[in-house]
Structure formats: structure tokens, C-alpha cells
Amino acid sequence: MSEDSHIIQVRGLKNSFGEQIVHDGLDLDVRKGEILGVVGGSGTGKSVLMRSIIGLQIPDEGEITVFGESMIGRPEEEAKHVRRRWGILFQGGALFSTLTVAENVQVPIKEYFPRMDETLLDEIAAYKVVMSGLGPEAGPKYPSELSGGMRKRAGIARALALDPELMFLDEPTAGLDPIGAAAFDELIVQLRDALGLTVFLITHDLDTLYAICDRVAVLADHKVVAIGTIPELLALDHEWIQEYFRGPRGRAAATVDKRERARV
């Protein structure tokens, strides 16, 4: 793997809140075009890692490069160029509650391309809404009128607004019913294949891990203790990883996955 094919590179990241150390000497590489799952127990700093990469959390120490450009201490104007190349889905969707779904999608486009033609803007919002798996009737609805799953899809539509190369998804399937979650998994793979996305995915959902992740990074003891495909991780002798994947829920997800693969 050459250096350029790493879309995200984190070196020696250190984050702490007061006395509490979240990350200490964390390294992580995300390859171009992969879906990387990030797992870890509660409080191991998965969300903090994501927030550090996207610049919402200033780390104490360490180096973060995204698209080969250093992200720490960048002036806002320069960071903007990198920002328009990624899309983010927050846990609750984080839609702007006073705008309709379609207007939410238009916000990033208007921000970066203020002189965009109105009709084209409406057309773009329209096909993005449908692409994210929402029905056409969802366009003029306000976020408070949507269900949790629809809100996440609307969040994806907004994250896709600028045709990003990189997507950050924070627990996209949390709180969805199994059918909705499976559909969401499929949507992510579809979008990755169609648009050539790289996906940084925080999840607790073992089914999602088995179904769509190319590699999985495990956060524990303030750093990434292991990264690799699920079989590679299973071969490791780490207590938490073994418990995670070989626990009752992990086994169930693995069986289903094997059965499905056998069928295909």
C-alpha cells in the first residue's frame, strides 16, 4: 500500500478531557475506497476520534492528515477545501429542524456554490433525496415529521450533497429495525460502489460489520489495538476482541453471514 492511497492518516493522536485520557498514541490509516468499521466499548473514544478527524475536537497531540493534507491548526479558509470533500452523518441525523429535507440537502451546496442556479439546485436536492432511499414525498417534509430511520436517510442525503469522496457515519444503524438496518447497509454499499466513496463507519452493529465492512479497527486501551478483516481479527489473541466477536451476539451474526454467503 503506498502512502497516497491512505485517505486518512492519524499518527500519535492524544486526546484527554481533564484527567481522563481518551486516546494516547493512536495510529490509524484508512485506505481509499474501503468501508472501515470502527468498534470499541462504550467510552473508548470512537466518536471523539471521528470528531478529531473532522476538526470538531482539537487533539492535545498528534498528526492528522486527510487527503494528504494536515488538518490540525489549519486556518478556516484552507480547511474549507478539505471539508467540501467529505460528508458526515451524525448520530441523530443533526438535520436543521427549520428546513425541509430537500432544503437541508441544499445547505452545503449553497454554502460552497452560492451562485448555483435555483432550478438546478432543486433538481440536485430532488435526486439526492431519492438516491438516499427516501420516497419522493419526503422532500418537502420537516425533520420533526420524519421517523428515526427516515431522519438518518435524510442525513445521508445531506452528507452526499457535495458528492464527497469520504463519508463519516456515526452509528448509522443504531435505533433502526433489522429490516431498516439491513436496507441501510445495502444503501451504504451501493453508494460506495456507485460513487467510489471511502467510508469511516462507527458502529456497534455486528451484522453491519459482517455485512459491509472491508476492515475493522478495534479501539481499546486508548489506541487502535488491531485493524484488519474480521477473520484476521478473530485470529488475534485479544480478550476484548474475542469476547466481542465470539460472544453470543457475535456468533449469531457470524452464522447468519456464513449462511448468506453459502446461499450466494
Partner 1 sequence: MPDFTQSNEDGRSVLRFTGNLTLARIRKLTERLSEVKEDRPLVDLSGVDRMDTVGAWLIYKLKRDRRAEVVGESDEHRSLLDQVEKADQPVKVRPDSTPAFFRVVGQIGAGTAMAGRTLYGLLGFFGGLLVSLWNVTTHPRRFRINAVVTNFEHVGIHALPIIGLMSFLVGIVIAQQGAVQLRQFGAEIYTINLIGRSSVKELGLLMTAIMVAGRSGSAFAAQIGSMKLSEEVDAMRTIGVSPMEALVVPRVLATVLLMPVLGFYASILAIIGGAMFVWIDLGIPLVTFIQRTREVVPETDLWQMLIKAPVFGLIISMAGCFQGLQVEGNAESVGLRTTAAVVQAIFLVIVLDAFFAVFFTSIGWL
Q: How many residues does the chain have?
A: 264
Asked if 236 and 218 touch (Cβ cutoff 8 Å), the reply is no
Smallest gap from residue 208 Cβ to partner 1 (A):
22
> Which amino acid is it at 121?
L
Smallest gap from residue 116 Cβ to partner 1 (A):
6
Give the span between the Cα atoms of 163 and 128, in whole angstroms: 10
- Specify the 3-state DSSP secondary structure of 182: helix
By beta-carbon proximity to partner 1, the closer residue of 7 and 241 is: 7
Query: 115-174: which residues touch partner 1 (CB under 8 A)?
Result: 115-117, 120, 122-131, 136, 138-140, 142-144, 160, 162-163
Q: Is 247 a binder of partner 1 (CB under 8 A)?
A: no
**DSSP secondary structure letter of residue 31:** E
Q: Is 113 a binder of partner 1 (CB under 8 A)?
A: yes
Smallest gap from residue 125 Cβ to partner 1 (A):
6
Q: Is 103 a binder of partner 1 (CB under 8 A)?
A: yes
Give the span between the Cα atoms of 217 and 225, in whole angstroms: 8
By beta-carbon proximity to partner 1, the closer residue of 63 and 163 is: 163
From 109, 202, 206, 230, residue interacting with partner 1 (rule: CB under 8 A): 109
- Report which of 201, 228, 224, 209 is spatially closest to residue 50, judged by C-alpha positions: 201
- Report which of 53, 55, 57, 62 is spatially closest to residue 30, judged by C-alpha positions: 53
Smallest gap from residue 145 Cβ to partner 1 (A):
8
Smallest gap from residue 237 Cβ to partner 1 (A):
42
- Report which of 86, 78, 64 is spatially closest to residue 12, judged by C-alpha positions: 64
> Which amino acid is it at 246?
R
Residues near partner 1 (CB under 8 A) are: 97-98, 100, 102-103, 106, 109, 113, 115-117, 120, 122-131, 136, 138-140, 142-144, 160, 162-163, 193-196
